[in-house]
Amino acid sequence: MKAVRATAPAFAGGETPVSALRGVGAAVAGKLAARGLGTVQDLWLHLPLRYEDRTRLTPIRALQSGVPAQVDATVEAVERGFRYRPVLRVAVADGSHATLVLRFFHFRAAQAAQFRPGVRLRCFGTPRPGQHGLEIVHPSYRVLADGEDPGLGEALDPVYPAVDGVGPATLRRLIGLALDLLPDGPVLELLPASLPALAGLPGLRESLLTLHRPPREADLAALAAGTHPAQRRLALEELLAHHLSLRRRRLAQQQLHARALDGPGALAARLLATLPFALTGAQRRVFEQVRADLSQPRPMQRLVQGDVGSGKTVVAALAATLAVERGCQVALAAPTELLAEQHLANLRAWLQPLGVRVAWLAGKVTGKARAQALAEVASGQAQVVVGTHALMQEGVAFHDLALVVVDEQHRFGVQQRLALRDKGPAHGQVPHQLVMTATPIPRTLAMTAYADLDVSAIDELPPGRTPVQTVAVSAERRSELVERIRAACAEGRQAYWVCTLIEEPDEDGTPGQGMKLQAQAAERTFEVLSQQLPGVRVALVHGRLKAAEKLAVMRGFKDGAIDLLVATTVIEVGVDVPNASLMIVENAERLGLAQLHQLRGRVGRGVAASTCVLLYQPPLSALARQRLDVLRQTGDGFLIAEKDLELRGPGELLGTRQTGLAAFRVADLARDAGLLPQVRVLADDLLERDDGVADRLVARWIGSASRYAGA
């Protein structure tokens, strides 16, 4: 690849550092670099968030609430008041038989003095209904001199994503300078125009110019929706660049070495013989895929998707036996302490009778216990190590780590996954990786987000599960639910009451502000329900409890000593209590479908018919109604994930700290999913041709400091 690359045309202009632009000193260059804007090309791709139309004037009478507009008007009256804080109200008129109020909360005296009756203003902003007709809060404006006609803009004004320390006007000016350097022809255009995928789409240069400076007649609705041909042209190239980068990462991984875990499988057979159940067909199939991967001297990179309750853990345990059989170590990481504890309990129950030593390493393990665990891990005495993020920290050294299992991978960042991989043996080998997730990833997404992983699906639930009946109920009917819980508990059944807030605990597992608020909400609910339900044994679990307290509560619930468990979303993953058959989820309309589906997976694990009540705050928007309907209508996690993607978009589905997915500049996987098959064909072609174009595309869109670097 290198030889060809050297003869490829230099990328004129694009790779020029921003410091070459007029007016960019070291300070500004530093601020831009901090935002990933190091070259002129980066500025080309720093696309507007939205546009402001200053190409026309709107008469005040024609203003519409919520629609940004530009107005020329004359000041009629000025009022300075004080309601909790100073306010300035400026009434303006334009002869269209209507007045508009401009309202300011922050203003300097000199500014207020400008607004004398009779002064002409040009202003821009979004009108909203106020006390006396429409008003604009903090419009952008300028005072017009006598007889001045400032004219109108030719193109729509771009509004760019902010860059810390660089004002919007400066940023606009610099991007304008960068655009002046846009080359023409094949230097810029890396994709052959003859490609069917490009048919009917403008070229790259034209697309960039259209997006930065849309003509006044541009289709603003299409631009806002991201469906403008110029956006599709860029989205195609961006998706291609990401796909290529993942494919290359995968190729690089296949060059790495790993221990071939190709023993006879005697330990696995013993585990299977002692399990109280037989594997489902899907579990057997996936285990065989894993086993085939592990027997190779190349690192396995496999994602196992399986709906909640599909039985992923036992597949991981079976994989672990193959490493143990070869005298190697296994690390299993789970995103929460609760989940990790449950894995620990399962693996100990399954593996210790077979003579396998399972160690425990979580953040809460400190002092002597920690030192001992670390020593066992370092000496290799601990064959399987279960834990949380603590496993990935520095200071945790393995004797011979050959397999890394990461559960609920969407909760970890790619970097964390890699940190664990790097704990493998040094002599040129890396551990095999098995990633498990119950968040089903739609096929379209899997292709892009996980182009570096092989995907297996456990698409069958163990026998004997009853589908969960799901209903959506307004929070106004809460008291009926309290009765329902009373009745269920009187019959010896158990229930969950899940309190949610939109904020989640920080993804690195440290309790964030969100977790604190969640905990407070749960505490209040716990108090209320305890009062309303005398005779029902109510307990509370949330992320701020000590691990031992949490575990004690969970154990009490599991043993039937607790009837009603008030909880935060800490119970989302993994908790397994078959006798619980009623779940109430508060503020369900604010949660993602995938998360609700996860929560719902806590019930329907036993023989009793189970119900999940989705409590919502009325009024319910049409979209929210549609989303809750999806859950009412299906229990199929894959279908739910597809719908979630459709209704919310991939950023929310996978979490913003995912593989950089949310960092797309133009592309949107939900909207542009139709482009993906073409992307794949294009990628095959480019990788085949090996003429340096793939490198340049990746460099252009993802940068030399690739976010996938080393991944």
- Minimum CB separation from ligand ADP for residue 272, in Å? 10
- Minimum CB separation from Mg ion for residue 553, in Å? 20
SS3 content of the chain, % helix, strand, coil (to 5): 45, 20, 40
Q: Which does 310 bind (CB under 5 to 8 A by kind): Mg ion, ligand ADP, none?
A: ligand ADP
Of 41, 70, 305, 313, the one binding ligand ADP by CB under 6 A: 313
Q: Which does 306 bind (CB under 5 to 8 A by kind): ligand ADP, Mg ion, none?
A: ligand ADP
Report d(CA 586, CA 50) in Å as an integer: 35
Which of 228, 543, 133, 156 has its CA nearest to residue 364? 543
Give the binding-site size for ligand ADP (rule: CB under 6 A): 15
* Contact range with ligand ADP by CB under 6 A, out of 221-229, 255-263, 312-320, 377-385: 312-320
Could you say whether residue 310 binds ligand ADP (CB under 6 A)?
yes
Of 306, 425, 592, 604, the one binding ligand ADP by CB under 6 A: 306
Structure tokens at 398: 């393995």
Of 127, 265, 311, 637, the one binding ligand ADP by CB under 6 A: 311
Could you say whether residue 308 binds ligand ADP (CB under 6 A)?
yes
Could you say whether residue 576 binds ligand ADP (CB under 6 A)?
yes
Q: Which residue is nearest to ligand ADP (CB)?
A: 311
Question: Is 260 or 272 the residue whose CB approaches ligand ADP more closely?
Answer: 272
Question: Is 158 or 311 the residue whose CB approaches Mg ion more closely?
Answer: 311
Question: Is 529 or 567 the residue whose CB approaches ligand ADP more closely?
Answer: 567
Q: In what order do the strands lie in the sheet with 140-144?
A: 128-130, 133-137, 99-104, 85-93, 69-83, 120-125, 140-144
Question: Is 511 or 578 the residue whose CB approaches ligand ADP more closely?
Answer: 578
* Contact range with ligand ADP by CB under 6 A, out of 89-97, 302-310, 511-519, 584-592: 302-310
Q: Would you list the DSSP string of 420-472? A: HHTTS-TTTB--EEEEEESS---HHHHHHHTTTSEEEEE--PPTT--PEEEEE
Could you say whether residue 105 binds ligand ADP (CB under 6 A)?
no
| CB-CB contact of 560 with 494 (8 Å) | yes
State the helix-helix crossing angle for 693-701 and 676-689, rounded to 10 degrees: 130
Site string for ligand ADP, 445-474 (x = CB under 6 A): -----------------x------------
| CB-CB contact of 218 with 210 (8 Å) | yes
Site string for Mg ion, 568-597 (x = CB under 5 A): ------x-----------------------
Question: Is 310 or 383 the residue whose CB approaches ligand ADP more closely?
Answer: 310
Report d(CA 361, CA 34) in Å as an integer: 36
- Minimum CB separation from Mg ion for residue 339, in Å? 7
Strand partners, 39: 17
- Minimum CB separation from Mg ion for residue 672, in Å? 32
Question: Is 60 or 304 the residue whose CB approaches Mg ion more closely?
Answer: 304
Question: Is 299 or 601 the residue whose CB approaches ligand ADP more closely?
Answer: 601
Question: Is 411 or 700 the residue whose CB approaches Mg ion more closely?
Answer: 411
State the helix-helix crossing angle for 312-325 and 266-274, rounded to 10 degrees: 140
Which of 466, 488, 463 has its CA nearest to residue 609? 466
Q: Would you list the DSSP string of 289-355? A: HHHHHHTSSS--EEEEEE-TTS-HHHHHHHHHHHHHHTT-EEEEE-SSHHHHHHHHHHHHHHHGGGT
Could you say whether residue 438 binds ligand ADP (CB under 6 A)?
yes
- Minimum CB separation from ligand ADP for residue 576, in Å? 5
Q: Which does 444 bind (CB under 5 to 8 A by kind): Mg ion, ligand ADP, none?
A: none
Report d(CA 359, CA 376) in Å as an integer: 8
Structure tokens at 248: 């290359």
Report d(CA 639, CA 624) in Å as an integer: 17
Question: Is 25 or 463 the residue whose CB approaches ligand ADP more closely?
Answer: 463
Question: Is 24 or 438 the residue whose CB approaches ligand ADP more closely?
Answer: 438
Which of 10, 28, 11 has its CA nearest to residue 19? 28
Which of 311, 299, 335, 305 has its CA nearest to residue 435? 305
| CB-CB contact of 456 with 303 (8 Å) | yes
| CB-CB contact of 412 with 406 (8 Å) | yes
Burial class (CB in 10 A: 0-12, 13-18, 19+), 588: buried
Q: Which does 462 bind (CB under 5 to 8 A by kind): ligand ADP, Mg ion, none?
A: ligand ADP
Binding residues for ligand ADP restricted to 271-290, rule: CB under 6 A: 277, 279-280, 283
Residues that bind Mg ion (CB under 5 A): 574
Interface with ligand ADP (CB under 6 A): 277, 279-280, 283, 306, 308-314, 438, 462, 576
